[in-house]
Amino acid sequence: MQRAFAPRLRQLHWYEIALIAAVTLALCIYLPIVVKRSAVHGFGDVQVFFRAGWAVWTGYPLYEVADHHGWTYHYPPFFALLMGPFAYPLDGVPKPAWALPLRASIAVWYALSAAALLIAIDWWARALERRSAPLQQSDWNAWWMLRLGPLALLLPFLGDGLGRGQPSALVLLTMVAFLVLYVQGRIYAAACALAIGFTIKLFPLALLIFPVLRRDMKTVLATAGFSLLFLFVVPTLCLGPAEVLKLYTAMWTQHLSGIFTGVPNPKIAAEITFTSYDMLSIGAMLARIGAGGLPTTDTLPTFATAGQMAFNVALVGALLWIGHGRFWQLTGPQPAPSEALLIGGAILCAALPVMLSVSQPNYVAFVVPLVAVVQFDAWRRSGEVKVVPLLIAWAGVMWIGMVATEGGMWEPLRVIGLATPALVALLGSGLICLRRAE
C-alpha cells in the first residue's frame, strides 16, 4: 500500500519545504555546538562511553573508570568494546594509536546517533505505510509528515539525547527494528536486533513479552542465543573468561543492584538522583509531590515505589487486555503479526520513560513510534493528511515541561514534571489506537 503515499519530492508546499529545511538546519547546526560543549567545556555523558572504550581495551577496571564529572559506566562490556575507536584515556595517559581525537570522536558519534534516529523513524513510517488505505493529501505530503511530524514534535528531547552523547537513538533503532522485522516474520533478524539493544541497555528486553505471549519459543530462543553471543562469547574472545566474569560481578555489585532496587550504594547515589527534577518516572514524580520539592534523600519513599509498581502493573495489564485477540491469544492459534503488534510495541516503548526508575529527557526518544501511531490514526479516521491539533497541544505541554525543568521556571511545574503526565496521556491515546486496530 506504499503507493498511496506521495513521492518524496513532489506535491510539496512552501511550508512543507520550510519545515524540512528547519529540521535539517537544527540537526546540522547542533553538531558544532555539541562538539564545543562536549570537547571544550566537558558537558554531556559522552566521555563515560569513550573512557569505557579505553578502559576495556587497555585493562583498566571498566566499572571504576570515571569521566571528568566522576560518572562511571553502567552497561555490559560488549558496548564498551564497540567504543574502542573512540577510546579516550584518563588525564595524563597517552591516547591509544587506534583511537580518534576527541573532537573527531564526538562528531562521528553525533553523526552515527543522528543517522540511527532518522533510520528508525523511516523504518517505522514504512511499516505503518504498508498497512494504510489511500489518504487525501491536498495540504500535507503524507510521506514527509509521517517522518517529520514525530521528529519536529519531540525535537528538544531528541536534541537532548544527541547533545548528551547518550545512545538513546541507537537503542530506539534496535527496538524499532525488532518490532518491524518481527511483524514481517523475519524472526532471526528481529532477535538479533533486540539482542543488540539489550547489550547496550538492558530494558529493550521488555519487548520480548510479545513473542512470549504468542508462545513463539523460536524467537525467544533466538534472542537468547544472540544475547549470549554478544554478552558473553564476544567479550570472552576479546578479553578472556576470567576477565569477563570479573566484569559482570563488578557491574552487578557496583551498579545494577542499587539501580534496580532504588537503594544505590554511595558511589552510584553520587551519580544518580532517583527523584531529581529531570527524572520522568511515576515514582520520581510522586516522591517530589509528596515532599513538595526535592526529597531530602536520593531513594524513593515507600509510597512512591508502590505507586510506580501499581502504575506499571496497570499499564501492562491494560496492554495485555486490549491486545488479547489482536496481537496475542491465550488459547488456540495466535493472530497473524499485524499493525496491532506494532501499536502494542510502540505503547511499551513509550511507557519506558515513566516506568523505569532512572529515566531522563533523552529517554523520550522511545516515544517517537507512538507519536507516529497517534498521528497516523488521526489521519485515517479523517481520511486526510493534516495537522493534528491535539498532538500540537500535547507537544506544547512537553516543551513547556522541559523548559520548566531545565530553566527553573515556576516551582510547581518542576515538582510535577509536566512531561510525565503528558506521556501518560499519550499512552492512553495509544491504547485507544490499539483498541481500534483489527
Cell digits for 181? 522485522
Q: What is the DSSP letter of 365?
A: G
Rounded to 5 degrees, what angle do the CA atoms 425, 431, 433 make?
A: 105
Q: Which of 147-161, 169-183, 255-269, 384-398 has the highest mean pLDDT?
A: 169-183
Residue pLDDT, tens place only, 118-127:
999 999 999 9
Cell digits for 344? 502494542
Which residue has 524540512 as its cell numbers?
Answer: 20
pLDDT at 167 over 50: yes
Q: Return the half-sphere exposure (C-beta side, CA atoms, 13 A cut-off) of residue 243.
A: 18
User: CB–CB of 195/234 below 8 Å?
Assistant: no
Which residue has 493534528 as its cell numbers?
Answer: 388
**Model confidence at 263, in pLDDT bands (50, 70, 90)?**
low
User: Could you give the CA distance from residue 384 to residue 4 in angstroms, rounded to a whole number?
Assistant: 12
More confident: 36 or 103: 103
Which residue has 547546526 as its cell numbers?
Answer: 29
User: CB–CB of 380/374 below 8 Å?
Assistant: no
Give the pLDDT confidence score for residue 276 in this predicted structure.
84
Cell digits for 20? 524540512
Residue pLDDT, tens place only, 46-69:
888 999 999 999 988 888 888 777
Give the pLDDT confidence score for residue 66 in this predicted structure.
82
Return the number of other C-beta atoms located less than 10 Å from residue 259's C-beta.
18
User: CB–CB of 327/335 below 8 Å?
Assistant: yes
User: Could you give the CA distance from residue 256 to residue 262 in angstroms, rounded to a whole number?
Assistant: 10
The mean pLDDT of 378-403, rounded to a whole number, is 90
pLDDT at 9 over 70: no
Cell digits for 143? 510521506
Give the pLDDT confidence score for residue 374 in this predicted structure.
96
Q: Which residues, in sequence order, are bridge partners of residue 436? A: none
The mean pLDDT of 104-109, rounded to a whole number, is 89
Give the pLDDT confidence score for residue 141 in this predicted structure.
84
Taken as a whole, the chain contains a residue count of: 438
User: Could you give the CA distance from residue 114 to residue 123 in angstroms, rounded to a whole number?
Assistant: 14
Using alpha carbons, select from 95, 346, 119 the residue that is nearest to residue 210. Answer: 346
Cα-only R_g, the chain: 22
**Model confidence at 162, in pLDDT bands (50, 70, 90)?**
confident
* Secondary structure (3-state) at 67: coil
> Which range (41-45, 369-373, 421-425) has the least confidence?
41-45
Q: Which of 57-66, 133-142, 252-261, 347-356 has the highest mean pLDDT?
A: 347-356
* Secondary structure (3-state) at 359: coil
Give the pLDDT confidence score for residue 1 in this predicted structure.
40
**Model confidence at 266, in pLDDT bands (50, 70, 90)?**
low
> Which range (257-261, 339-343, 376-380) has the least confidence?
257-261
User: CB–CB of 414/404 below 8 Å?
Assistant: yes
Cell digits for 144? 514527509
